[in-house]
Chain A
Amino acid sequence: MSTPTKEAAEPASKIDMKESGGGGEVPSFEITLQVRRYDPEFSDEARWDEWQLTMYGTDRVLDALHKVKWNIDGSLTFRRSCAHGVCGSDAMRINGRNRLACKVLLKDLDTSKPIMVEPIKGLPVEKDLIVDMEPFFQSYREIMPFMVNNSPAPTAERLQSPEDRERFDDTTKCILCAACTSSCPVFWTDGQYFGPAAIVNAHRFIFDSRDDAGDMRLEVLNDKEGVWRCRTTFNCTDACPRGIEVTKAIQEVKRAVLTRSM
């Protein structure tokens, strides 16, 4: 359960969507979709493939990928599960920035230019838009993403004041899509860096009043590959499809490491 945060106002549509009166035709528009393809069974080289598609005002980038996969080229490979911005499967680089394909409406993009879709950076590409997420989840496991409480279990819930709950509310929203971690220039060049997502999930427990392992997590992150590798480029904050203030969370963990050691 997380409180809804203020979302940015919906951007103005870049396409002139004609008002269709009555039962008229649903307005459509043309797009050019370019996808970065890689298939190690055929070539060690990645290449760009391009398709012209007719799409509609409610279509997202994911719908365009579906259209290609279902009607044109079944070999196009990408992950998606819920297709509604909850499961975090379809993080990819759309026009140079990490986004969830299921949350980007085509009409909000500049359709006069090709829409460019690439796999997220910094993780090994397996095929087309699918990357090996194991290094990402390994960092996640290392910060112990579970509640640790050493006191005897009460008969009912462990109570927490609304203020204490609010303290880590922002970081409960993570869906582990890796959009933040794979937008981080430090992570691209140093795969050992824990990355924003792991730190966000550590933050979620470090600042939870019911959790007793905050010190252990701070110990894990007080490492040369831990929070101190963050260079505050804010790419992660910009990439997060859940609107988590990722850099803010990392900075709070940095300050918690400092105040603890003092």
Chain B
Amino acid sequence: MTQTKGTLYKGSGGMWSWVGHRITGVGIFFFLLVHVLDTSLVRVSPEAYDAVIGAYKNPIMIIGEIGLVGAIVFHAFNGLRIILVDFWSKGTRYHKQMLWAVMGLWVIVMIGFTARHVMLFLDGWGGF
């Protein structure tokens, strides 16, 4: 039976937080693969390692790093929310409020990180 597309299921925050958790999780996994590779280059030669890490100091990678930290921060805070939903007896009742808290914390952390990160980039990574 073939079927043309129906509509998307209209879930609320709970469903979309799960979608976000899955996407950020897979994204972080692929980053870790690359990260293990570039870090292991130090065993090949320190110069090769420096060259690869140096390639990260360009505007596209800066945006990528902000995205990466955004994904990790969401995955971390939402992970704590899921632990509370799993183990705190009232967790299921307050899952929506906890999702708002996750998003609030995410915004605060990301404002701080993005400001510091962009400033370091504009300063030409003095001290790095």
Verify A96–B14 contact, CB threshold 8 A: no
Instruction: Give residues in A with beta carbon < 8 Å to B.
Output: 36, 38, 40, 44-47, 93, 95-97, 116, 118, 121, 124-125, 183, 185, 231-235, 237-238, 245, 247-248, 251, 254-255
Report A249 CB to chain B, min CB distance, Å.
Answer: 9
Please give the number of chain B residues whose Cβ is less than 8 angstroms from any Cβ of chain A in the complex.
Answer: 24
Interface of A is mostly: mixed
Give the CA-CA distance A36 to B4 in the complex, in Å: 10
- For chain B, residues 87 to 110, give those with C-beta under 8 angstroms from any C-beta of chain A: 87, 91-93, 95
B3 touches A233 (CB 8 A): no
B7 and A116 contacting across the interface, CB-CB below 8 Å: yes
Q: Which residues of A lie under 8 Å from residue B3 when comparing CB positions?
A: 38, 44-46, 125
Residue pair B8, A96 in contact (C-beta under 8 Å): yes
Is B10 in contact with A95, judged by CB distance below 8 angstroms?
yes
Q: Are B87 and A255 in contact (CB under 8 A)?
A: yes
Q: Is the CB of B12 within 8 A of A245?
A: no
Contact B18 A231 (CB under 8 A): yes
Partner of B4, one of A40, A45, A116, A185: A45
Once A232-B14, A234-B15 are accepted as A-B contacts, the answer to whether A251 and B2 lie under 8 Å apart by CB is no
Asked whether B11 is an interface residue with its Cβ less than 8 Å from the other chain, the reply is yes
Q: Which residue of A lies closest to B11 (CB)?
A: A235
In the complex, chain B residues whose CB is within 8 Å of the CB of A46 = 3-4, 6
